[in-house]
């Protein structure tokens, strides 16, 4: 299974199926909605990794550039988000998924993105609300919807979507503690199925504390 499929089309046997499935679905919806009837776009994929969501832009771009601090075949420019080697007002769209928690200065990254976007340019990003700390890759931040709005305060229009409600979030966190063994595979599948179904039950989620797994922001310059 490729890294792109792991993130974009996760299997129900994965421990992180719930977060990746929900993230992939809502990113696709938000990209389609924000870029409806748009073509010939210049797209920046910041912190691109292996560009798992590039296919969601098919038919809409004339240029797709990936920037990442780690060199790999999918990266066109090696750089960090705080210092982008790009001219002002170069891109129409920037996508940045699960990146800002790993940078030392999120506000500086957003400032750089704003600088490189053209007028009416669109930033589409996802960030974690709740997730276990990843010490190996540098893990510095978590957000709320209010925090994300403040982070994107230099944009003219901002829309925040919750990506995984309280019930899904609690089940996903539980899954991170299920041992990675063949015997536990059936437990993982059952919990993933229950979490995905119960996330759609608004009455259940409305009674629970506001625990949100991820947020998706769409901001217009």
Tokens of 5: 């499929």
The long-range contacts involving 133-136, CB below 8 angstroms and separated by at least 24 positions, are none
pLDDT digits (tens, 9 = 90+) for 161-182: 999 999 999 999 999 998 877 7
Domains and CATH numbers, the chain: 3-220 (3.40.50.150)
Residue 89: C-alpha distances to residues 112, 153, 195, 200 (Å): 10, 18, 42, 40
Read off the pTM: 0.92
pLDDT at 51: 94
Strand, coil or helix: what is 94? Answer: strand
Q: What is the mean pLDDT of the chain?
A: 93
């Amino acid at each position: 299974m490729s890294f792109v499929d792991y993130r974009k089309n996760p299997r129900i046997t994965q421990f992180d199926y719930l977060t990746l499935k929900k993230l992939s679905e809502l990113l696709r919806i938000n990209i389609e909605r924000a870029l409806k009837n748009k073509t010939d776009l210049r797209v920046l994929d910041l912190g691109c990794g292996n560009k798992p969501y590039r296919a969601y832009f098919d038919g809409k771009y004339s240029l797709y550039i990936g920037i990442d601090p780690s060199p790999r075949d999918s990266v066109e420019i090696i750089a960090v988000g705080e210092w982008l080697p790009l001219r002002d007002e170069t891109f129409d769209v920037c996508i940045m998924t699960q990146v800002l928690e790993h940078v030392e200065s999120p506000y500086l990254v957003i400032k750089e993105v704003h600088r490189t976007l053209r007028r009416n340019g669109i930033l589409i990003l996802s960030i974690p609300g709740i997730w276990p700390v990843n010490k190996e890759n540098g893990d510095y931040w978590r957000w709320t919807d209010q925090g994300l709005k403040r982070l994107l305060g230099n944009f003219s229009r901002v829309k925040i979507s919750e990506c995984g409600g309280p019930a899904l979030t609690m089940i996903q966190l539980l899954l991170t503690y299920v041992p990675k063994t063949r015997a536990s595979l059936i437990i993982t599948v059952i919990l993933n199925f229950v979490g995905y179904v119960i996330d759609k039950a608004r009455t259940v989620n409305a009674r629970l504390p506001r625990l949100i797994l991820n947020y998706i922001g769409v901001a217009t310059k």
